[in-house]
Amino acid sequence: MAAQATTPGRPLTWLITGCSSGFGLSLARIVQANGHNLIATSREPSKTPELISEVEGKGGRWLKLDVNDLNCGMVIDELEAQGQPIDVLVSNAGFCIYNVVENFTDKEVRDLMETLYFGPSRLIRSAVKHQRQRKFGVIVNISSGAALEANPSMGAYAAGKGALDCMAKALAKEVEAFNIRVLTVLLGTFNTGMGNATILGQNPLPEDYKGSMAERLMELMSTGKFAPNGDKDKAMKAVYEVVVGEGVGKNHEAERVLPLGRDLAARIQTVQDYFSHAMQVFGDICNNVYLEMN
């Protein structure tokens, strides 16, 4: 656990990506309901005029932001230049393409990495520069159990989420001294509608994978039969409380990982068992490949 951070006793300004649905929209509503300043963003605001009216009617702003844009970090620089400091940056925008690892096209993998890693990384780099000068800020990355223990057909998605999670671990240590917090939110399956927006890879599954877990998962997702067990609003309420240090987050503001979801708890146990087994089998050699000193 990192050292305890201090949070200003004032409304915070939140910039949240991917607010047109799911977690982003849920968190945006919670932020506004609690009297904070909201800058909601989405790739195509014209598709959700009713949500723009809702947010702006409560004093917030809604901006067009495509995290795949190589210049997306300039949005934060422009807001800061306008006197709009970004206290909390929430990287939530994302999507998933399902296929077995050998079958992805290079473009599919690059598209996922752009949205899940490079885009958030650009926004984070821009936000941290300003937060460091003010000696306060919170970076929140909405991640997934796939980053811990990826299921078949989710290799490319897991790679993107895992990349951002690993970067966040280093970032947290670098910026702790500047009163900047980094929180990775690890999520299980939730009622965000992700199953209704399933994208299968363009290459058909090779015959050898017929009947495999990968095929079953791809079919489950693409037919809309996927049944999540988590409530997105409960999850985002927990995220909000950990950021502001209230409710379940009271006295826990310095925590760097927030696991959410019953199925996520099981996956964490799987990962713990995975490494425990490795140390049981290879613990002796792990500790005996040291350099001999003369």
Q: What is the 3-state secondary structure (H, E, C) of 93-113?
A: CCCCEEECHHHCCHHHHHHHH
Q: Tell me which CATH code domain 13-287 carries.
A: 3.40.50.720
pLDDT 10s digits, 152-182: 999 999 999 999 999 999 999 999 999 999 9
Which residues, in sequence order, are bridge partners of residue 187? 144, 260
Helix axes 74-81, 119-134, angle to 10 degrees: 30
Burial class (CB in 10 A: 0-12, 13-18, 19+), 119: buried
**Residues 88 and 12 sit within 8 Å (Cβ to Cβ):** yes
In 3D space, the residue among 61, 69, 70, 124 whose CA is nearest the CA of residue 92 turns out to be 124
Query: Can you tell me the distance from the alpha carbon of 263 to that of 204, in angstroms, rounded to the nearest whole number?
Result: 29
pLDDT of res. 2: 47
pLDDT 10s digits, 73-101: 999 999 999 999 999 999 999 999 999 99
The pTM score is: 0.94
Give the residue numbers annotated as catalytic, written as ranges. Answer: 143, 157, 161
Query: Can you tell me the distance from the alpha carbon of 267 to that of 261, in angstroms, rounded to the nearest whole number?
Result: 10
